[in-house]
Amino acid sequence: MIITRLLAPQTPQRVVDEVAAHVRAELSASAAEDDDPTTHADDVLVHIYPLAAGAVDTITGEVYESACILVRGILDRPPAAPYLKAGYDPTEGVPPELLAHAVDEDLREVTG
- Each residue of 59-70: pLDDT tens digit? 889 999 999 999
Instruction: List all residues 6 or more positions away from 90 whose beta carbon is below 8 Å from its beta carbon.
Output: 83
Cα–Cα distance between 13 and 79 in angstroms, integer?
Answer: 30
How does pLDDT run along the chain (112 residues), one tens digit per residue? Answer: 899 999 999 999 999 999 999 999 999 988 888 888 888 899 999 999 999 999 999 888 999 999 999 999 999 988 887 777 778 787 788 788 777 766 665 555 555 5
pLDDT of residue 105: 58
Give the pairing of strands 45-51 and 2-7.
unpaired
d(CA 39, CA 36): 6
Residue in 46, 45, 66, 44 with CA at minimum distance from that of residue 54: 66
Tell me how far CA of residue 97 lies from CA of 19, 38, 101, 107, in angstroms: 40, 38, 6, 15
Predicted pLDDT at 111: 54
> Structure pTM?
0.71
